Each structure stands twice: as C-alpha cells, then as structure tokens.
Amino acid sequence: MIIYRHRKLVREGGITALKKQVIPDHCHQNRTDENFANTVVEFSLYNPHLGQVQVAHHLRKQYKIELSASGVRNVWLRESMQTIGLRLQKKAFLLT
C-alpha cells in the first residue's frame, strides 16, 4: 500500500524523500499497440463525424485492424478526442 511506502521513505530520507517521488508512466500489457493507435487517430481526424463503432468497422475493413469499439474509445480518451468537436479542433490545430 502507498501509506507504507511513504512511511518507509520518511523513515529513510525524511520529508524531502517524499518530494522527490516520480510516478512512472504505466503502459499496461493490454494497451492498444502504438501503430494501431496512430492509425485510429489519423483515420478519426479524416473522418471526425464517425462514431466509435463505425471507426472500428472501417478499420477492420480497410486496414485489417481488429479493434473493438471500446478500444477505439480508449485511444480517443487517451488523445483527448472523444467528441466530434474535439476531433475537429485537433484537426484544425494540426492543419495550422
């Protein structure tokens, strides 16, 4: 548990040991492959009007990428593009 790790740090290094903590970025084992995620982002920016189910369907047909609709949504959430407005905003930002 976190409390025990904090207690150990305070015991060994004092209060300053708590300030130096860096939480590593966790890439989970089941996370979508980076190449697939880039394809999802690129496809979604060119087709911002499509929903997650349609994007998953088109990716399966065009790119032979087996990714569920919730997998598409997870990529969108990670990239902050879960709504049509956010996808359009990101597309406009990339074009400028």
**pLDDT given at position 20:** 62
Total tally of structural domains belonging to the chain: 1
Region 60-76: mean pLDDT is 96
CA 81 – CA 14 distance, rounded (Å) = 42
- Residue (of 57, 46, 45, 51) closest to 73 by Cα position: 51
Domain of residue 90, residue span:
34-96
More confident residue, 92 or 3: 92
Which two tokens mark 44?
């979604």
In a domain, 85, yes or no: yes
pLDDT in tens, 7-35: 888 898 888 877 766 677 777 888 899 99
In a domain, 70, yes or no: yes
In a domain, 4, yes or no: no
Region 52-57: mean pLDDT is 98
In a domain, 1, yes or no: no
Q: Is the pLDDT confidence value at 66 over 90? A: yes
